[in-house]
Amino acid sequence: MTNQSPARTIIYFIIIIALIIGLSIISNRLWGGKSEELPEMKDLSITAEMTIAEFGQMNNLSNPVLKEIFSLQEQSELEKKLGEFGELEQVNALIIKRMALAAEHASKNWFKIPVKFAGWIIFLSVVFIFLSKRRVTPDFRKWLLLAAITIFGVILGSDPSPMGTVKDAIHLFGTTRAIFFPRMIALTIFLLFVFLANKYICAWGCQAGTLQDLLYQLNQTDKRKVIIGKQIKLPFILTNSIRTLFFVAFTFIAFLWSMDIIDPVDPFKIFKPAALGIIGGIFIGSLLLLSLFIYRPWCHLFCPFGLVGWLVEKISLVKISVNYETCIACDKCANACPSTVMEAILKQKMKTIPDCFACYRCREVCPTDSIRFSTRKRTLPPDGHFDKKEKQHVPDFSPVR
């Protein structure tokens, strides 16, 4: 996958996107059955004098569904009137909440989900071994990213995903005040990954994140020279401000108008092309093109899990740290980092450390093996350690070298 010319980069870009879309269509058809999407909640016909059976007939709900919604034990209880369950507004809210939970459960492929989580554990463990032994070359990195995209996106689909656990939980609760506990379990596992090892799940497991990462790498030679245009590092204060505002807007709209503003442009839908509309297709296409020049634009600018994971990342057990006793202040790690995070970790001048995706590029280029992804605590550099290098400081918007 070595690219040395703009033409080859463009060709590889087109081939990768075309294969992902084409193979995802085939994969979705092979899995069949589960839609993995919730049916649209319709307005209910309801009065206090209705019996449960009449309510079911008016709203096209079967008796088994009615028994689940109202927690009925006997068939005769279908003749109870809705008014017996409380005020009409309370009954209506209860019905909507339980119908939403039933629809959530019915939409999931309960075979695929545990298989996918098992796959993540195995794959992430294998990648960690390669990284710890410094066996990941630029070309091998691309193949690892491609493997993650293929396994967790093309083969196992768009759901579940780290982002979906946050996005769908907020939207469901905002719309129906319901909490889908299997999703909370999934979110807990994803955040446990972050707690244990930084954003390792985002770096090597997230199907949309690894796709953006691969495209970014595609626009570099083996020696990290940019092939097309320039690759820039956006300032963290800009990216995190946008991401935070977007998260607040998404949550506010979900609670106020019961709308999911991410759904139409959800980048994970590239692994479910049939669900993509025109707006989504245009947005995702633009996002993937942008990924050639900016490292993981969705993750840094919009992803709800990216924001939540960044907060949990502050207490991660395993993270990137620098041994200043052997560090020679060459800045190779900061230059190799695709974002501004290694500059912040290295020099400790920023009170807030940006997202670290545990990509290991910093350690790969360190000539003195001063960088570790371990439980070692981060320390401040000695006074004057970088004085000779400050004049050569490269601003955030400089091309990646």
Is residue 65 domain-resident? yes
Residues 164 and 97 in one domain: no
Residues 209 and 301 in one domain: yes
pLDDT tier for residue 394 given thresholds of 50, 70 and 90? very low
Domain end, chosen from 257, 277, 311, is at 311
Assess whether 166 and 253 both reside in one domain: yes
Are residues 380 and 243 part of one domain? no
Distances (CA, A) of 100 to 19, 97, 238, 281, 285: 35, 5, 37, 28, 32
The domain total for the chain is: 3
Structural domain contains residue 399: no
Confidence of residue 397 (pLDDT cuts 50, 70, 90): very low
> 101 and 20 in one domain?
no
- 34 vs 329 pLDDT, higher one: 329
**Per-residue pLDDT at 374:** 87
**Is 260 part of a structural domain of the chain?**
yes
pLDDT class of 34 with cuts at 50, 70, 90: low
Residues 198 and 328 in one domain: no
Domain end (from 85, 107, 129): 107
Is residue 373 helix, strand or coil? strand
Q: Are residues 57 and 72 located together in one domain of the fold?
A: yes
CA nearest 96: which of 182, 38, 53, 49? 38
> What percent of the chain has a predicted confidence (pLDDT) above 70?
93
CA distance 308 to 305: 5
pLDDT of residue 291 exceeding 90, the answer is: yes
The tens digit of pLDDT for each residue in 81-111 reads: 888 888 888 888 888 888 888 888 888 999 9
- Residue 35, CA atoms < 13 Å, CB-side half-sphere: 10
Residues 133 and 192 grouped into a single domain? yes
> Is 145 inside a domain boundary?
yes
Residues 148, 295, single domain; the answer is: yes
Place of tokens 């090892």: 197
Find the farthest-apart pair of alpha carbons in the chain and give their distance in angstroms, rounded.
85
How high is the pLDDT of residue 398?
A: 45
What's the pLDDT band for 72 if we cut at 50, 70, 90?
Answer: confident
Is residue 27 located within the same domain as residue 152? Answer: yes
Q: Are residues 348 and 298 in the same domain?
A: no
pLDDT of residue 206: 97
pLDDT greater than 90 at residue 287: yes
- Domain membership of residue 400 (yes or no) is no
The verdict on residue 285 lying in a domain is yes
In this predicted model, what pLDDT tens digit does every residue of 317-364 receive, in sequence order?
999 999 999 999 999 999 999 999 999 999 988 788 999 998 889 998
Q: What is the CATH number of the domain that holds 337?
A: 3.30.70.20
Q: Tell me: the pLDDT tens digits for 205-230?
A: 999 999 999 999 999 987 889 999 99
Same domain as 334, residue 216: no
The boundaries of the domain holding residue 255 are 6-34+111-311
- Can you give the pLDDT at residue 220? 92
Q: Which of 92, 107, 122 is at the close of a domain? A: 107
DSSP structure string for 31-43: H-S---SPPPPPP
CA dist 259 and 172 (Å) reads: 10
